[in-house]
Amino acid sequence: MSDQKITPRAEDYSRWYQDVITEADLVDSSPVRGCMVLKPHGYAIWEAIRDDLDQRFKATGHVNAYFPLFIPQSFLTKEAQHVEGFAKECAVVTHHRLKATPEGVIPDPDAVLDEPLVVRPTSETIIWHMYGRWISSWRDLPILINQWANVVRWEMRTRPFLRTAEFLWQEGHTAHATAAEAQEETRRMLEVYRDFCWQTLAVPVVMGVKTASERFAGAVDTYCIEGMMQNGWALQAGTSHFLGQNFARAFDVTFQNKEGTLEHVWATSWGVSTRLVGAVIMAHSDDEGLVLPPKVAPVQIVLVPITRADNQEKVMAFVDGVAARLRGRFRVKVDDRDNMKPGAKYFEWERKGVPLRIEVGPRDVDNHAVFCKLRTEPGKFSLPADEGLADAIGAVLDKMQAAMLDKALATRKARTHRVDSYEELKARLESDSGWFLVPWTDDAENEAAIKAETKATIRCYPLEGQEEAQGRTCFYSGRRATHMAIFSRAY
RNA sequence: CGGGGUAUAGCGCAGCCUGGUAGCGCGUCUGCUUCGGGAGCAGAAGGCCGUAGGUUCAAAUCCUGCUACCCCGACCA
């Protein structure tokens, strides 16, 4: 395999990110600009994320459904803010047939669609069109639907996982009888995301509210979870929107309440995407390659037999026995390739982010033990290969998962800076990248001015700690502060 | 979409300036020996040089268009 091809983080952080992904064999580029192929090892991370979240959605009363990829163009025009937000990045289908010509194949001029179809950039419009047909009474509410789907946003500049033209995601779309109920749903799902990121991804995201300029096109309020990457930049890991009655009005979706009067329906939508895979990679990996928390690692344990011709049978029988004992509880791989030396296998699985490696040689067979190495710790240790092995390994992996969260949390805390003046922010953005927590007076023009000058944006008004703004003055305008804001450079 | 760079075997590169029909390392295949931190030897396979044109007796090499990728900006999950 390749030799030390991962650029160190300190040298070039984006090259490092690129290298880690390539070396771990997560994706391949596609012939179409901005699109990526998710290779099995990369897709498996998404599968683990999807399966975990799907359970959480179902546990909070949601059901899955599927809405079509194509949306009539006219639907996109119905909600004014929504059009403005998405019009610039939509792929549009205009023909339904190809035609062979001497110059090659072209869209058949005789097969132009009456109305062009937009490839969904998000599904609010088609879903609210359908909800209009399904809702007439308060008894039809709430509707709590989620869908797992792909969407397309024609992005100018792309990065694997973090921003691609087509990406996989889930979008929850709920319909409620009251504003309070919809707001509660918005916050409930935000909390689902937060807990998932902390517990499953070991990424200690912060929950917050977006300012008007960062709000979802068509939302009344946009909540978000923001994660800090190792270079101190922020990454929006998920959003949950309170849509008010905007889409219900645009698509004329009303219900008859218990008093018999017609009201517009209240809405939410919430989503996370394959960007989460990028967040996990960036949050935990090191200069040796991918590091994954055990809960989402496609392979949690790799067994590497160390054999010679005269002991191969003995060692392999032992390895197979250990693997059989661990399968069913863990995702286990036995690397029995005979064309690679054990050392080469160690490097390969380290690059690929396998949390626990178990080396088994003749000495271990004789001792009835296995020799273990954690991806995140320097030393190796031996465990008895008895009935308690699976429990012992479970404990080790749980501890690793918790340690990864602690480490990421410590980094986030160390790199969250409180500053009181704009001068200090500008100076420290260069020297000391991270998040900057400041007292702030909500003002879109000032926000834009700061972004233009520093490239830092307001990631959110964090839900926790807003009371700190009481009685303080805005670090930029000197006016009475309305919020505590997190400024940071972001992906 | 603006500025810059790149495109030659699966991967990383040389060859291009000074045109003459393609080479190196790694990987792959076969065999033997190896195997507790990136194995050794021997043999072999694999590329109409991103793509479409142009110049020329002749193009990987010179010229033009297009496409993709990377870096930096503006837009965004």
**Could you tell me the distance in Å between the CA of residue A20 and the C1' of nucleotide B37?**
20
Higher pLDDT, residue A491 or A269: A269
- In tens, the pLDDT along A216-235 reads 999 999 999 999 999 899 99
Identify whether the C-beta of residue A121 lies closer than 8 Å to the C-beta of residue A89. yes
Confidence of residue A360 (pLDDT cuts 50, 70, 90): very high
CATH of domain A13-95+106-284: 3.30.930.10
pLDDT at A92: 87
**Could you tell me the distance in Å between the CA of residue A104 and the C1' of nucleotide B62?**
29
Whether the beta carbon of A361 falls within 7 A of nucleic chain B: the reply is yes
Whether the beta carbon of A307 falls within 7 A of nucleic chain B: the reply is yes
Whether the beta carbon of A309 falls within 7 A of nucleic chain B: the reply is yes
Mean pLDDT within A385-395: 97
Nucleotides of B under 7 A from a protein CB: 1-2, 11, 26-29, 34-39, 67-77
Phi, psi of A471 (to 5 degrees): 75, 5
CATH superfamily ID and name for A416-488:
C-terminal domain of ProRS (3.30.110.30)
Whether the beta carbon of A214 falls within 7 A of nucleic chain B: the reply is yes
- Write the DSSP string, A13-55: HHHHHHHHHHHTT-EEE-SSTT-EEE-HHHHHHHHHHHHHHHH
**Could you tell me the distance in Å between the CA of residue A1 and the C1' of nucleotide B25?**
12
Find the residue closest to B39 using CA and C1' atoms. Answer: A341
Whether the beta carbon of A89 falls within 7 A of nucleic chain B: the reply is yes
| Neighbouring residues of A141: CB distance < 8 A, sequence distance ≥ 6 | A135, A175, A176, A177, A255, A265
Whether the beta carbon of A364 falls within 7 A of nucleic chain B: the reply is yes
Q: Please name which of A279, A283, A294, A403 lies closest in space to residue A354, comparing C-alpha atoms.
A: A294
Higher pLDDT, residue A24 or A185: A185
Q: Reduced to 3 states, what is the DSSP secondary structure of residue A168? A: strand
Given a cut of 90, whether residue A338 has pLDDT beyond it is no
- In tens, the pLDDT along A453-486 reads 888 999 999 999 999 999 999 999 999 999 999 9
Whether the beta carbon of A355 falls within 7 A of nucleic chain B: the reply is no
Name which of A26-40, A253-267, A358-372 the model is least confident about: A26-40
Provide the residue ranges of all domains of chain A, joining segments of one domain with +: 13-95+106-284, 301-396, 416-488
Which nt has its C1' nearest the CA of A347?
B38
Which nt has its C1' nearest the CA of A455?
B73
Name which of A36-50, A91-105, A368-382 the model is least confident about: A91-105
Whether the beta carbon of A59 falls within 7 A of nucleic chain B: the reply is no
Whether the beta carbon of A418 falls within 7 A of nucleic chain B: the reply is no
Mean pLDDT within A146-163: 88
Burial label for A68, CB within 10 Å (0-12, 13-18, 19+), is exposed
Whole-angstrom distance, CA of residue A207 vs CA of residue A194: 7
pLDDT at A1: 35
Which nt has its C1' nearest the CA of A343?
B37
Quick one: chain A helix, strand, coil %, rounded to 5?
A: 40, 30, 35
Higher pLDDT, residue A401 or A337: A401
Find the residue closest to B75 using CA and C1' atoms. Answer: A156
Portion of chain A with pLDDT greater than 70, in percent? 98
Which nt has its C1' nearest the CA of A88?
B75
Whether the beta carbon of A359 falls within 7 A of nucleic chain B: the reply is yes
Burial label for A364, CB within 10 Å (0-12, 13-18, 19+), is buried
Which nt has its C1' nearest the CA of A155?
B76
pLDDT at A263: 97
Tokens 């797992």, residue located: A148
Mean pLDDT within A200-229: 96
Cis peptide before A142 (omega within 30 of 0): yes
pLDDT at A97: 87
Given a cut of 80, whether residue A2 has pLDDT beyond it is no
pLDDT at A103: 65
A301-396 to CATH, choices 3.40.50.800, 3.40.630.30, 1.20.5.510, 3.30.450.270: 3.40.50.800
- In tens, the pLDDT along A262-308 reads 999 999 999 999 999 999 999 999 999 999 999 999 999 999 999 99
Number of neighbouring beta carbons within 10 Å of residue A403: 15
Q: Please name which of A141, A123, A136, A80 lies closest in space to residue A266, comparing C-alpha atoms.
A: A141
Given a cut of 80, whether residue A32 has pLDDT beyond it is no
Whole-angstrom distance, CA of residue A454 vs CA of residue A48: 37
Whether the beta carbon of A368 falls within 7 A of nucleic chain B: the reply is no
Confidence of residue A447 (pLDDT cuts 50, 70, 90): very high
Given a cut of 60, whether residue A3 has pLDDT beyond it is no
Confidence of residue A33 (pLDDT cuts 50, 70, 90): confident
> ipTM of this model?
0.84
pLDDT at A207: 98
Identify whether the C-beta of residue A346 lies closer than 8 Å to the C-beta of residue A306. no
Whether the beta carbon of A79 falls within 7 A of nucleic chain B: the reply is no
Find the residue closest to B50 using CA and C1' atoms. Answer: A31
**Residue A380 token pair:** 């190796």
**Residue A337 token pair:** 């390739």
Mean pLDDT within A296-323: 95
Given a cut of 80, whether residue A72 has pLDDT beyond it is yes
Across all residues in chain A, what is the average pLDDT? 93
Given a cut of 60, whether residue A4 has pLDDT beyond it is no
**Residue A241 token pair:** 């929107």
Whether the beta carbon of A23 falls within 7 A of nucleic chain B: the reply is no
Q: Strand B: which residues 137-176 of A lie within 7 A (CB)? A: 153, 155-160, 162-165, 167
Which nt has its C1' nearest the CA of A448?
B74
pLDDT at A423: 92
Q: Strand B: which residues 459-478 of A lie within 7 A (CB)? A: none
